[in-house]
Amino acid sequence: MTIDEDGPTDQEQQGLHIALLCEGTYPFHPGGVSVWCDQLVRGMAPHRYTVYAIVATSGAKPIWELPENVDGLHSLCLWGDAPRSSGSVGHPVRALSKELLSSLLNSVDRSGSLTRLRRRTHQPPVRRDDPTTLAMSSPSEPQAAFTRLISSLADPSGGSDFLEALHDLFDLSQRQPFGGALRSSASLDSLLAAMKAMPARDRFHEGSSSVVSVADACLVLDLIECQLSPLFEPPPQVDLCHATSNGLAILPGLGAYWTYGTPLVVSEHGIYLRERYLSFDAKTYTSAVRRIMLSFFKHLTWCGYQVASAMAPGSQYNCQWLEANGCDPARIRPIYNGVDAANFIRSTSEPEEPTLVWLGRIDPLKDVETLLHTFDRVRRVMPNARLRIFGTASKENQGYLQLCENLAINLGLGDSATFEGHVESVLDAYHAGHVVLLTSISEGFPYTLIEAMAAGKPTIATDVGGVREATGGAGIIVPPQNPDQMAEACLILLRDASLRELVGRAARERILSRFTLEQSLVLFGDLYREVTGGLSSAPVLERHQNRNEEQLLEQFVEQLVEQFVGPMLESEIDHDLPSPREFYDRERNGVS
């Protein structure tokens, strides 16, 4: 790394102190975001990190070994035995709402006890030139601020009122403990009024019942109060806050921003708001609960977009969502995930039986059901085919795992489809098959995909998030929740070793040229220096990925056409298989 002629500053030599803000992921659970966190923290030394992990309940221990440059781990537990004030409302649905909130976390944590930080006694000057630094209201009781926050949820454009109410609640919480003050009869009345005032304004709610019950309001009151609890802890005393997602993870960062003027960087791997919409289904929540909670999440993510010094989405695709939901394009700095290609070597052999591999967490967003239906169609044509599923389910997703296992039984897949749980080596998992599949209905820039490509494996993935940006033609993309098209693609690759070799080689070359861990870390280092006002000691990253890419792709397609011209074997699953040329022409033209 080249250093400026004047040399690095003392702060650069020592590194920044950074609060890494996580929700439901690192260091308590596996998954792509946790992999990214571990790579970031280790790769950004000598910067020091303190991890703030928002967890559902207390009790679990980290499954990731924390590196030496992590100074501490603080668990912010959403569900605890908060004392109630004398006027608080009892909640017969509290046990139920605890279970429901747990399901909202991407992967629900079980963490250690809460460790509080000692706050500084001084306050920085208020930055009057910053429009996101809102003027504080006159001192008021928590109840009044909470009522304003609830009222803002009934207004689609109430983000500013919501942000100001959050600011007031934070300020008040640092002066006095809330106890159960937010769970009062007045809060319940305000919530009932707001819920009744909310129209069914989108396709998720049109035609649904407008009835709002007291039980609905009690559940929502419990959910909102518990989800705001990270805001009420003493804020991190650091140089920079880096949230691994929008939503709840930004709450400690808001506190640090308001208290010390600490800059906030927010990474968006998936789209937090979109995944909240997907998780709030009619089977679990009433229409009234869905409306108010989705408004809560929409306002909260809007706050993140306004306060963050920079948003760092994991793909260009995600940039569109950020802008559509109120983020200033000037604050958006997309940074792709990267892999350490040295850890993902190509295999020189393949299994004897035609084998498909899937790796990930067992979660509805990963759509394991479509995976099983895909394999069922493949097996009708190739009875000796196998499907190996690597990955675990969180405690809250055990029901979904059972549903998938039952589906495999009902489809008659028998021992040909196996759920193999945790795997020590993801490289061994990728090499256990001929083709690696990704069936998700929502993704950011998935590690499973880019790791498999780095290992030289041909991939078939659903067209979600940044998947198309990752493959760039060096893989097959199909629409989500479409087992017919995914099965067609599987049969094409399983039938031809030469085609698998071509696709796998092109995939690895693409990762090596565009998506390495080193490139990602350099960009994050420069982003940290930008938002903290530090001296940039890294050279500008020269990107030559596009220099030969078009030429390589042309040569690749020409090879395919030369070797595979002629009629393809007819599909036995409803219609003819498309030719490789048709698949890759479709990829290049952006047609699904």
pLDDT tens across 252-309, in order? 999 999 999 999 999 988 788 888 888 787 778 899 999 999 999 999 999 999 999 9
Strand order, beta sheet including 48-55: 70-77, 48-55, 17-23, 240-243, 264-268, 310-313
- CB-based contacts of 111, cutoff 8 Å, min separation 6: 28, 53, 55, 58, 59, 60, 62, 75, 77
Residues contacting residue 477 through CB under 8 Å, at least 6 positions apart = 460, 461, 462, 463, 467, 468, 471, 587, 592
> Which residues are CB-contacts of 218 (< 8 A; sequence separation ≥ 6)?
89, 91, 92, 93, 97, 188
Q: CB-based burial of residue 561 (10 Å sphere; 0-12 exposed, 13-18 middle, 19+ buried)? A: middle
Q: What are 546's two structure tokens?
A: 């596009």
**Average pLDDT score over the chain:** 81
Q: How far apart are CA 584 and CA 590, in angstroms?
A: 10
Q: Which of 261-270, 371-380, 539-548 has the highest mean pLDDT?
A: 371-380
- Comparing 51-65, 119-133, 134-148, 398-412, the range with the smallest average pLDDT is 119-133
pLDDT for 553 equals 55
Sorted by where each starts, the structural domains of the chain and their CATH numbers stand as 15-80+108-123+162-331 (3.40.50), 341-515 (3.40.50.2000)
Give phi and psi for 197, each to the nearest 5.
-85, -10
Q: What is the pLDDT of residue 415?
A: 96
Which residues, 6+ apart, have CB-to-CB distance to 458 below 8 Å?
A: 434, 435, 436, 475, 476, 493, 499, 500, 503, 504, 507
Percentage of the chain modeled with pLDDT above 90? 61
User: What residues contact residue 136 under an 8 Å CB cut-off, 6+ apart?
Assistant: 167, 168, 171
- The residue that leads in pLDDT, 177 or 334, is 334
* pLDDT for residue 547 is more than 90: no
User: Which residues, including other chains, have CB under 8 Å from residue 543's CB and lie 6 or more apart?
Assistant: none
> What's residue 274's pLDDT?
83
Least confident among 48-57, 74-83, 451-460, 542-551: 542-551
| pLDDT, greater one: 574 or 292 | 292
Residue with tokens 């629900």: 108
Q: Is the pLDDT at 541 greater than 60, yes or no?
A: no
Contacts of 69 (CB under 8 A, 6+ apart): 15, 41, 42, 44, 45, 46, 47, 48, 49
Q: What percent of the chain has pLDDT over 70?
A: 75
Please check the confidence at residue 225 and state whether its pLDDT lies above 80. Answer: yes
* Confidence class for position 564, pLDDT limits 50, 70, 90: very low
Tell me which of 478 and 119 has the higher pLDDT: 478
102 has pLDDT over 70: no
How far apart, in whole angstroms, are the C-alpha atoms of residue 404 and residue 398? 10
Lowest mean pLDDT among 169-178, 400-409, 528-537: 528-537
Taking 70 as the threshold, does the pLDDT of residue 586 lie above it?
no
d(CA 482, CA 462): 9
Q: How many residues does the chain have?
A: 592
What mean pLDDT is predicted for residues 203-230?
80
Find the helix packing angle between 517-532 and 32-43, rounded to 10°: 70
The pLDDT value given to residue 76:
94
Residue 84 CB coordination number (10 Å): 16
Which whole number is the average pLDDT over 461-490?
96
Question: What's the pLDDT score for residue 312?
Answer: 96
DSSP string, 461-509: EES-TTHHHHHTTSSEEE-TT-HHHHHHHHHHHHH-HHHHHHHHHHHHH
Looking at 10-24, 186-200, 435-449, which range is the least confident one?
Answer: 10-24
- 8 Å CB contact between 371 and 338: no
Residue range 73-84: mean pLDDT, rounded: 72
The predicted pLDDT at position 241 comes to 98
Q: What is the per-residue burial (b if ≥16 Cβ within 10 Å, else e) of 157-171?
A: ebbbbbbbbbbbbbb
Q: Is the pLDDT of residue 137 over 60?
A: no
Residue 395: predicted pLDDT: 83
CA separation (Å) from 50 to 237, 380, 436, 484, 527? 10, 52, 36, 47, 19
Residue in the structure block whose two tokens are 């698998």? 500
Interval 428-434 mean pLDDT: 97
Torsion angle of alpha carbons 154, 160, 166, 167, nearest 10°? Answer: -160
Q: Which H/E stretch holds residue 398?
A: helix 398-410
Query: What is the model's pLDDT at position 562?
Result: 53
pLDDT of the residue at 10: 53
Per-residue pLDDT at 348: 84
Q: Pick the range with the lowest mean pLDDT from 197-206, 235-244, 410-419.
A: 197-206
Average pLDDT over residues 322-342: 92
C-alpha–C-alpha distance, residues 327 and 521, integer Å: 24
Q: What is the mean pLDDT of residues 492-506?
A: 96
* Confidence band for 440, pLDDT divided at 50, 70 and 90: very high
Distance CA 255, CA 172 (A): 12
